[in-house]
Structure 1
Amino acid sequence: MEDFLASCTSGGCGAKIAAGDLTDYLKALPTTKDPNLLVGFNTGDDAAVYQTAPDQALVNTVDFFSPMVEDPYVFGTIAATNALSDIYAMGGKPLLALNITCFPERLPKSALSDILAGGAAKIQEAGAILAGGHSIYDHEPKYGLAVTGQVDPRHLIRNDTPKTGDALILTKALGVGIILAADRAKVGDAEATEIAIASMQQLNKYAAANFGQYQVHACTDVTGFGLLAHGLEMAGDDHTLVLDTGEVPILPDALDFAKEYLTTAGGERNREQIGDRVDLDAISPALQELLFDPQTSGGLLISVAAEDAADLLAAIHVTDPVARIVGMVADREAQPIILL
């Protein structure tokens, strides 16, 4: 559709404000001492969690962005899938969603209808309810959701609570940002782009549905900050993630595009934020780019007890066959992430 994608200066999770900059902006915000707020913004977790009863807590998140694909309906499905993912990463179940919509007056109203229809389809697939929303005119189209879910506080999963000896599972392949950059530059491969789009449309619902059967200690969804920055959040101050880069799933053609320097501004921001906290010398520049690449509607990075890892992976493979065990959790060493 003319101007739908071309007019956007950035799209998907690659448009996120850099993690370090965001931390600086949040410093001026007041913190709460309400004991019912189990998870706030201070740890950079995927969603806020507020306890309402001994066995019940609300999980709240909001996520929206501008398009990264030409088809408005497909864009709606991806944006909704991405927003719902935060609930699954906390071990929760989505209950209801509110649309967030910005739309240019110059574009056909049918495009907005298609965006909303795509989002509604994914909300329905998630088993949640579309309960309303808010819309404004804007220079660029943007869409996403505010989602409320629920979780038993005793089974809440945070992003920074791995245990030494855990195995690390990544449920989706990396390279979405690079694949889309190649497509937008008209040098991409149609099949590779379709595989990337299908990955972005895959709800993390199915992988997360297996958590209750295994000892899952931490989880986060890998989105705009890339695998390494989200991995840093998981490592925290007490652990080191040891990643076997040879096992990291990669989308078809993504590594070849990275070798041709088809990278993204979001990936460069992620590299700047990592700085010297991770030694990259052991891997090629192209593979480095994939670890920095911003993932729109990416997979889950799961820290699970080593004895449960193979069984959990087998269960996840039923719906997410590219999932892999990509490393393990160790006691804190000199760096928070070690790349092999």
Structure 2
Amino acid sequence: MGTGRRLTQYAHGGGCACKIPPGELEEVVAGLGPIDGARDENELLVGLDSGDDAAVVRIDGDTAVVATADFFTPVVDDPYDWGRIAAANALSDVYAMGGRPLVAVNLLAWPREVLPFELAREVLRGGRDVAALAGCHLGGGHSVDDLEPKYGMAVTGIADAARLLRNDRGVAGTPLSLTKPLGLGVLNNRHKATGEVFDQAVAVMTELNRDAAAAALKAQAVCATDVTGFGLLGHLYKLARASGVSAVIDAGAVPYIDGAREAVREGYVSGGTRRNLDWVAPHTDFGTADEETRLLLADAQTSGGLLVAGEVPGAPIVGELVAAGDHSLLVR
């Protein structure tokens, strides 16, 4: 949509790179566990404890509800594409738990005196079209007047309580599969700085993780997470810590989007990516990996793929979980 407006210029960050840094976030939520006496504590299957992708509550037998919310500032200038990316990213949390999204509501913050509402309409249209592609109902939402544009969704899904994908179920000796290439963060940062459009990056971000989740479940996987703002290493560290294992990453097997390495070399690295690297560095042996590779492995993704503990047909195996219980990561 040729509007002449570059949405990325109206926000200080972009996409999942504008997340609160993982270390700071964990300090904020420390101690905020289940509400005592609110309901049967056995109903809450997944809460804050492991920092998983969504909350899961058992409602009847093996039927569970999956609940999540995700929103962020513009990651691309095209409003329709931004809406599609934000919707795919929010839906991903349900897929990452092995669930199926049922209904979503829009979350919209808009600088109404700065940006015309016709752009907001395009954002919402993009979100609607991706929800329709996912077979997910979209029922209204909430909006506020804000200094920066933000968009996303709160999503409710359903899952088999006995067949969840969780980040605390990793077993040593299990291979690690990655279902989307890395490099979204640096390419989005380059887009924001230069206006260059990277069609492959947009295609990756708007691709639903529905088929990847279905393939993981079919392969009998029980452990997974999606790779978003904390980068591959950040999300893998959380998985290893929650599962009581360590992990090895084969840097040479990790797929990257065309142009990602060039973007790193030319300095288009977000603050979020550098904070991710700082967070995991004390727990990581980088071996001979150079700075460029380290930054890409920590690159803050938006609507990235699933990291599955198990072999997923069609997805490259990028490492394995190992038995050492210190939750360390090794890059080789």
Task: Normalising by structure 2, report the TM-score.
Answer: 0.94
Name the aligned partner's letter for residue 48 of structure 1: A
Report if aligned partners of 1:73, 1:115 keep a CA contact under 8 Å in 2.
yes
Whether 2:106 is the aligned partner of 1:99: answer: yes
2:255 alignment partner, one of 221, 241, 249: 249
Could you tell me which runs of 5 or more consecutive residues in structure 2 were left unpaired when the two chains were aligned.
none
Q: CA deviation at 1:291?
A: 0.8
Cα-to-partner distance string for 1:88-112 (whole Å, 9 max, x where unaligned)? 0000000000100001112111101
- The aligned residue for residue 274 of structure 1 is 280
What is the RMSD of the two structures over their aligned residues, measured on CA atoms?
A: 1.5
Name the aligned partner's letter for residue 266 of structure 1: G
Name the aligned partner's letter for residue 202 of structure 1: E
SS in 1 for 2:229: coil
Q: CA deviation at 1:30?
A: 4.6
CA distance in 2, matches of 1:23, 1:136: 27
SS in 2 for 1:212: helix
SS in 2 for 1:209: helix
- The aligned residue for residue 228 of structure 1 is 233
CA distance in 2, matches of 1:274, 1:212: 29
CA distance in 2, matches of 1:270, 1:235: 16
CA distance in 1, matches of 2:328, 2:106: 37
Q: CA deviation at 1:197?
A: 0.8
Q: CA deviation at 1:164?
A: 1.6
- The aligned residue for residue 12 of structure 1 is 15
State which drifts further: 289-298 or 23-32. 23-32
Name the aligned partner's letter for residue 280 of structure 1: F
Cα-to-partner distance string for 1:122-155 (whole Å, 9 max, x where unaligned)? 1111111001200111111110000000011110
- The aligned residue for residue 264 of structure 1 is 270
Q: CA deviation at 1:281?
A: 3.8
Q: CA deviation at 1:40?
A: 0.5
1:31 alignment partner, one of 34, 59, 79: 34
- The aligned residue for residue 290 of structure 1 is 296
- The aligned residue for residue 320 of structure 1 is none
Q: CA deviation at 1:187?
A: 7.9
Whether 2:219 is the aligned partner of 1:214: answer: yes
Report if aligned partners of 1:258, 1:287 keep a CA contact under 8 Å in 2.
no
1:324 alignment partner, one of 308, 316, 319: 316
CA distance in 2, matches of 1:326, 1:104: 42
Name the aligned partner's letter for residue 103 of structure 1: W
Percentage identity across paired residues of the two chains: 40
CA distance in 2, matches of 1:145, 1:79: 8
Report if aligned partners of 1:62, 1:144 keep a CA contact under 8 Å in 2.
yes
Whether 2:105 is the aligned partner of 1:71: answer: no
CA distance in 1, matches of 2:143, 2:320: 44
> What is the number of equivalent residue pairs in this alignment?
323
2:53 alignment partner, one of 41, 46, 50: 46
- The aligned residue for residue 169 of structure 2 is 161
CA distance in 1, matches of 2:259, 2:309: 28
Q: CA deviation at 1:214?
A: 1.5
CA distance in 2, matches of 1:166, 1:3: 44
CA distance in 2, matches of 1:83, 1:45: 14
- The aligned residue for residue 303 of structure 1 is 309
Task: Normalising by structure 1, report the TM-score.
Answer: 0.91
SS in 2 for 1:14: helix
Whether 2:129 is the aligned partner of 1:121: answer: yes
Whether 2:88 is the aligned partner of 1:85: answer: no
SS in 2 for 1:59: strand
Cα-to-partner distance string for 1:10-36 (whole Å, 9 max, x where unaligned)? 110000001110111112535335110
Could you tell me which runs of 5 or more consecutive residues in structure 1 were left unpaired when the two chains were aligned.
318-322
Cα-to-partner distance string for 1:314-335 (whole Å, 9 max, x where unaligned)? xxx3xxxxx3110111101655
Q: How does 1:125-140 map to 2 (within 5 A)?
A: 125-140=133-148
Name the aligned partner's letter for residue 19 of structure 1: P
Whether 2:210 is the aligned partner of 1:202: answer: no
2:66 alignment partner, one of 54, 59, 80: 59
Name the aligned partner's letter for residue 271 of structure 2: A
SS in 2 for 1:182: helix
Q: CA deviation at 1:256?
A: 1.9
Report if aligned partners of 1:158, 1:220 keep a CA contact under 8 Å in 2.
yes
CA distance in 1, matches of 2:268, 2:15: 17
